[in-house]
Structure 1
Amino acid sequence: MSIPFRAITAFHAAARTGSMQQAAEILGVTPSAVSQQIQIIETHIGVRLFSRKGRKSVLTEAGERYYEMIRDEVDRITAATERMRGLNSYTALNVRIAPTFATKWVMPRLDQFLELHPDIELRLDATNEPPDFARENIDLEIRHGAGPWRGLHVECLAVEPMEVLCSPDYAAAGSLRPADLEGHRLIHSVKNVVQWSDWFQHQGHPMPSQPRRVLFDRAHMSIDLAVNGHGLALESCLTASAEIASGHLVRAISGTSPITQKSLWLVCPQSHLNRRKVRRFCDWLRSTLTEFAPSSSS
């Protein structure tokens, strides 16, 4: 037998107000309709929930126990329903996004998107944990990694120049060469696609024999440590663009050949691209990256 939710609602209203009349007013029905629904739930669970005392109906001991058990759940359902009624004019967009890219690139520009699309209720979930699109309510992911990933739409958002960066108080722009890095503290994120060993190999120069290193699992921590003058960070010029533009970080090395990484990917099931809200966010995000030529390969 299915659960009589209408009857539960009627019982909850009567128990909460202590009055069949007030419960009827809340529910928009007659008091006799409330009484009928309470009889249905009493039959369903096999116990008396109300007893008559004169002209009043009062909870039995069983009714009090039952009300205590369902009260919070019914209240939560009611609150959630009212909240959803208030969100009818909005479209919810759930985006999972790499934390550093969220902090350093998306958040400083997000007011543009919110102003352009006031009808979208945006939820950003800043984590590197790949979503299970079949089970989680995620519309789109901005993923950090080497890519590609099978079974999904995967689009490289940018080819990122990787530079050795430092505070101008640590070293002047262009004042160092690869051979000078022995003894310097080398800072980087372990999740970057390009690591210090890759950079030295690309320059045709061996790694320092005993490098002093500081390792982070978030690139924004590497950037912040370099800004504070504690070493040389190998980081993306896209991710560190604000610090470079403000002069808090400078390109420390001269006479090197450029090295790039592809680590930012727009990822979702192919069918999600049919969702207008997803296309709007993707178009906006691409527009913010026009200064970095997106790669068409994945």
Structure 2
Amino acid sequence: MTRTILITGTSSGYGKAMAELFHDRGWNVIATMRRPDPALFPASPRLAVLPLDVTKPASVSQAIADGVAAFGGIDVWVNNAGIGLVSIVEATPDSAMREVFETNTLSVFAACRAIIPQLRKQGRGTIINVTSSVALGVMPMVAVYAASKCAVEGFTESLSHELAAFNVKARLVEPGYAPTTNFADNVRGRMPGLMPDIYGDFAQGFFARLAEYPTRYCTEAEVAEATFAAATEESGRIRYPAGVDSQLFAGLRWSTSEEAYLKAMRDMFMPAPQA
């Protein structure tokens, strides 16, 4: 029986790569985005391109109904859509914080709440929430973004315990930084006014350190492969780091002491102290 996956945020980057990989491997794919563009994918009876704005509950419910109507059910739901933010905390207004949490966090909670009854009724299924390597290794100037992703990490781990009795899994894919996606442009569009001059030297030093490490960034293909593993593995595993940097941070976070983790992160990303 052909399995069906619904992925949010498939217009580019990780989401598009996921949709292509799952389709290539024989799955039915429901590729969703705010403004559907069927031309992004080759026409196929196993592909439906649907509108979905993750911040609007009615849009989520309609996508579920349309996806079930198209393929008879949804086996895997991937919360991939999100936005980035690089900023200095004291300069970040409430409006920016709310926008990040509304998209990255609260919309994930709401989507999970919406799809759980369908998966529970089917007696099987998997929810995959895409977070970030910054939920494993927290660096400067991403406090709000990291908080939005760390919240999803705790939520998903707790959710996995709640759903186990119904044969429904909740898992995390944790991508590293992929400069080839639209993430950097997404972030730059939100940065004006969020970098006070007093932090100029610090920010310049941080970006210089960031450019030095790691030597190889994450790719869209690695994230798609990690998502496929999260969708298909029969195990109790919850976290799937994707990319060299994410795997490094996972090792530091989970396999070393607090002191060793903090020293490594500061050595990698903290600029030299100002005179």
What's the TM-score, normalizing by structure 2?
0.25
Query: Higher strand share goes to which structure?
Result: 1
Query: Higher helix share goes to which structure?
Result: 2
